[in-house]
Structure 1
Amino acid sequence: MIRNQIKFSLTSLYGLTFLFFICFSALGQLKMPACSSSAEFYKGDSINVVTFGASTVEGIPAPFNFQQPLKSFIENCYIGKSVNIYNYGIAGETTSQGLARFDSAIAGKTGFVMLLMGVNDALQMASGNGGSVEATTSNMRKMIEKAQRAKMAVIVGTLQAFLEPVGKGPQLNRIRKINSIINDINIAYKALAASKGLKVADINSVMKKTHLYADEVHPNKRGYYVMAMIWFDAFNQEIVANHLKATVIQNYPNPADTFTRIGFTLSSASEVKVSIFNVYGQSLGVVFEDYKNAGYHVEEISTTRYSPGVYVLYFEFLNRKFTKKMIVVH
């Protein structure tokens, strides 16, 4: 009997190992999303992300999750950066329960927090066991404020709706009631994020395809991959808005004939002035001057008025100065 039990356990273990191998090998074959043009200008040496929430953050059904593909996306685009993603998801928790453990989750952490929580609050409300959209939003606000006090960047995820069963009946009415509450929570979350200037990973607006679900609410493997892309988009938006180093790139084309493009990144809004000088240090005027917001910018300038030769582009913004050599040919 014991030998048979051991044989069964080993067989089960091999089966699970094979399942993990198949799942993650297939995931590795999925295409990487496009990289943000500003990824190379991220000013940090590492990227640390705390993912916090309930079952979808934990990864239900196992072994699927969005953290692994998200890590692959970031590593693929933010080359040379150390990437760490922490999973603080506990299935079945409400935002009240999450709030009680949030301090310990972010203790000693730096970087980014991705919050996805509230479905269980909606279930509680739909079943008449208490709770409210206002209380759920208040709990989310408190988590956001805790993370901000810890100097962490916060991204809020919207809650994916439940799949509605085919046909009519009590189950359909129940799901529609839950989804109505989820919709109200998502509206409140978006308003909260807007009031605090936060990026939103609008998961619900994309996850409305039945083939992305493993059950009535949790994603399947493909669904988690899509969810990771949504988080990745919001992450890139946060990087562009608040985490770029101020720098310039080489103009292109270079040599230039009739035009060239100048590129620069701003860590915060600033006036940008670009002047052109000849090799004798004589100023030939200003080729670009305007106010720009934080992020990566590309501007096209005409070179038709300049004789063939070597010139210097002189950038001024954020109390810093940069130079780039430009060659003109006609």
Structure 2
Amino acid sequence: MRFGGGTEVSGAIHSNRGIRFDGLAHNVVSSAVADYDDPDHSGANEFGVHTHTSPADPLPPNPPPARTDIFEAGRQFPIPAVDFTGITADLAQMKSDAQTSGFYRPSSGALGYHIVLRNDDTFNLYRITNFVNPPSGCTNYLNQSGWSTWSIQNQQLIGNFTFPTNGIIFFEDNVFADGQINSARLTLVAASFPDNPPTRKNIIVNNDLLYTNYDGQDTVGLIAQESVHIGMASENNLRIDAALIAQNGRVGRYYYRSPSWGNQRCSPYHTRQTITSYGMIATNLRYGFAYTDGTGYRTRNLIYDANLLYGPPPSFPLTSDQYVTLSWEEGTPAE
């Protein structure tokens, strides 16, 4: 897991693998490993939590320096790993709860659903019929699994619905989510059963998903059986107020290549300005909203919502008696 310069994180960070952190961490950064081979470069093993911000950390077995300019609350490694396998059972139970006293929808028969949350305790639901086509020359340059624009071109309104009593909204399809709530508590799930890797579902957030109140009255959980994507045509300045879980995939944005020598490639979508995540992030594979060539979101603000500790979204899976903010394995290079 890598956090590049320009990333500021307020909550605790944990990885079951190693962490390279070059931004600013206001809370503890921890890893389940004592040292590891950083896949972003060659060389000897480095600390389970290390930085390359000048001066770069020494190598084990030397003791790690405090580096309070990077790790304001310190770093801890190795500590026990976090196990997310139990989430599968949680999702099955949430499906049952949604069918009995929540809101449930099977496959859309198209490209998925789009839910727009409203501050009057209702939501608009759409069926997606077409995605935005990539610009000329915009291709899956890194051969990332599941690459697409993940951006809506056409959709059809299904209807307006009231927030369910138990707060659980379950889709057996991919779902785009945005909008704003006011004094509501919701958990949105995208999953398909029986669990089969080729048919696992995703949640996509391309437009602001906002709270009205930041005192614990408002809370949203987004649980994707596969990944939580930020699509190509996402907002230039994007804010996501929600607790995010990508059970088997990653929370992040695909690589959209920058223009070069008259080739448009993925321009103007290759760079975005600022993404703010207010809540928590749990991702199985390596998270990333930016890449080392400057594409993606230039500024990444990851803010932990402390209200989640004692007031999580409905039926939201907890990994322990304390909230674990982030847990990853390594994946494609990103920041």
TM-score (norm 1): 0.23
TM-score (norm 2): 0.23
Query: Larger helix proportion, structure 1 or 2?
Result: 1
